[in-house]
Every structure is written in C-alpha cells, then in structure tokens.
Structure 1
Amino acid sequence: MNARWPTLIACSVILAGCAGMQNPQRANLAHCSNQLKASKAADYALVLQEGDLCLQKNTLPAKLERVIHLVQADAYSQLERYPEAVAAQEKSMQFGTPEPRAYLDLSAMYRDAGNPQKALELVQHNLDNGLGEAGKGTGFHMPTYYHLGLALTDLGQYREAAEAFSTGLQRQPDYAWAFYARGVAYDHLGNQEDAKADFTRFSKMANKKFVGEKQQAKLAEYKIVMP
C-alpha cells in the first residue's frame, strides 16, 4: 500500500487550518500535521504516536479522519504489524464511500496477515460490483488482476493465478512484477519453461534496487542474473 499521495494533499490542508486557530486547538491539531510529516520521513513509530494523539485530541472532519487512519494503516504495514494495519484500513473505509483501490489495499493487508481467503473475497467484491480502479463501470486494469493473482497464489490456485496475471498483462504489459508473480505460479505448476521466460523478462524490466533476497534467490535457481 502507498498512502503517500493523499498524505501530501492532506498535510497542506492541515497546516493551513492550524494557522488560523487559537493556541490550544492549534497545538492539538499539530499532532495531525506531525503525523503526516513523520510519514513523509518514513518514521513509522512517530507516525503511530502522533496519529493516535491527533485522533484523541481532535474532532476531525470525516475526510481528514479517513486520511489519518489511512496513514496509520500504512505505518502499521511498514512495521509488519499487519492485523493492526487491517484494523486501521477498515476504519478509514468507514468515512464515506471507499474507492475501489481501498479494497485492493485492504486485500494486500489481509494477505500479509495470513488470510488469503479474505484477501480474495475483497478483490472479488470489486469484480462483482464492477468497481474498476477509477470507479464503477470503468473497467479493470492491472491492479485488480495483480491482487487477484496474488491471493489465488497464496491459496494454492496456481493455474487460476497465472490466468489472472496474464489478463492483467494484456492491460499493462510493462508491469515487471506481474511477470515475476506469474513465473512463481508457473513454477508451482511445474512449467519451468514458461516460468524461466517470465523470470527472464522480470530480470530485464525490474529496478534492481527494489528486488529483494527472495526474488534474487528464485532468479538464481533458474540461473538468471539481473543486468
């Protein structure tokens, strides 16, 4: 999940609001501003501390409270406190109508928390309700099929996962991580030829600094070296 884009927008709103308030109100609302600054600095422990104080000491507009919970969820995820990330993300979704992407982010958190069945149900919710990435009726793009494939992979449904990644790649053929994920599905199916082809494409497309030890080990297993 990446909560940074709403964070930056909300930060400017909060800072503008602080300037015109009386001192006690300004001091309390400063915790909200501090949370967002800490998120920008990737200080996730401080994000949680300041976010909790922001919520405790202020009565916030719904839109702003949604953002504060969303940033809390991101911090919990970064700290690998996944059940708490799920709870914060679900709380953020109570304020207004959740965007389709919110369900995909929540799906990822449930996968991280070890509940792929719930993760699959959340992606299926978007599919059943025609909720594409930009709203209802706009069609499904890579994010929907990528999260669908990851949930299916975690559930051991590798053939269905490979089909989901393939559908996503028809819509976004330059998404390197879908090739890696489909390669994993092929690997589980014993289809080493297609797995190697996908891992090779991934190795040529992915930014090396974001490729972790797990992915490097899988590439090495197939005798693939990143350029």
Structure 2
Amino acid sequence: MSVNSVGREIPQEVNGRVLRPFRGAFTTPPADQPVCSARRQKLVVPGESKLLSSLAEAIKASGLKDGMTISFHHSFREGDMIIGQVLTAISELGIKGLRFAPSAVVNIKAPSIVDFVRKGTINRIEASGIRGELGDAVIDGLMDNPVVLRPHGARPRAIEAGELEIDVAFIGASSADEYGNATGLTGPNTCGSLGYSFIDARSARTVVIITDHLVPYPCVPASIS
C-alpha cells in the first residue's frame, strides 16, 4: 500500500496499472509521453454505405471481442435507451469481460447495467461518476475489480494520454446522416451538445453512431463529422 497527501492508504496498482498517490497540487509533473490524440482514419470507398441493419451487425463489424473497452456518453441522461440496447446485443453475442467506460453513468433501469455485470458482460468500470442502482451495487461490493472514477476533465486527458484506450465508442445522436455526421441539436429526441463524446469520436478505434432520425447527407450542423 502507498499513502497519499492526506494520509490515506491506496493500493499500489488497480487492474494492473501502477498508481501514483496524490502528493499535493503541482508536485507530480506530467509524464513525458506522446499524446495519443491523432484521429484514427479508416478507408471508405466512394459510394460505399456505412449503414448497417442492426446493432448486432454493427457490433460484429466493429470487431468487438472479449476484454475490450466500450464507451458511451450520458447526454440523454435517464432517458437514454442506447446503453441498454447495445449491452443487450453484446450479451446476446456472448461477448464478455468488457471494460465499461462511459462519460458517466446515470440511473438506467431497463435493462439494469447491474445485470450485465452479474452476467459477466462487464467486469471493469471507468467513468466520471456513477449514480442510482449501479452506484449502490458498487458500494455493496458488486465489482471484483476496483472502479475508476475521473472528473469530466480528467477523462479526456486519460484518453489522450493513452491511459484509457477505447476500442469501440457507441455514440447516440438525435440526428445523423448515412456517412456518420451527427448532432444532438435536431430531430425528435434532441439532447443538446455531444461534447462528452468528442474525445471518443476522435480517439476510439471504431465509432458506431446510433440514431432514430436519419437525415439526408450532409447532416448540418454536425457536432461529430
């Protein structure tokens, strides 16, 4: 165990990552390491459609496998229907041991995220906050692995620094076109800015945009292009 600046003991590592105890503001300079902020590019042949017929097909096309990391944003708050649908599809495909790394966890009850932890679909959680049923379950000892929580500013920093690598980002949008340009500002279920997921859209190995309002190309104004 290590001791931080307020005398609290912390483990020396979490999920295989060595931890540095907090020693006070400005006492630990940032590591001299490359910033992993370059946007990943994939080939799309002109005329080729990016549209897929189902979540299961999108998950298969993303290359998601056991042990990888998935992310979501929480701009829809407790009205979010995407996380439950995606996790259900992943579970039905038999994929397990995922790191669940959303921008934050709100109280989603149908289906419960707790159920996917108990099934083994999720075995690690890294977020900017956990509320509701999942938060209570974590406090009661649901997780075998420690949960990592970061402020909203620290999450993008961790992704850029390569500390949190996103394999597949599932981004809900109130409007999107067939090329993946997306916004949260138009459509029947607007959620406002998609800012929480900007870092995911830029840094994830694969990005899946999910919408209930497909618009003609180009989707404007596009929050994510």
TM-score calculated relative to the size of structure 2: 0.28
Structure label with greater radius of gyration: 1
Q: Where is the strand percentage greater, Structure 1 or Structure 2?
A: 2
Point out which structure has higher relative CO (alpha carbons under 8 A, 6+ apart). Answer: 2
**Which structure dedicates a bigger proportion of its chain to helix?**
1
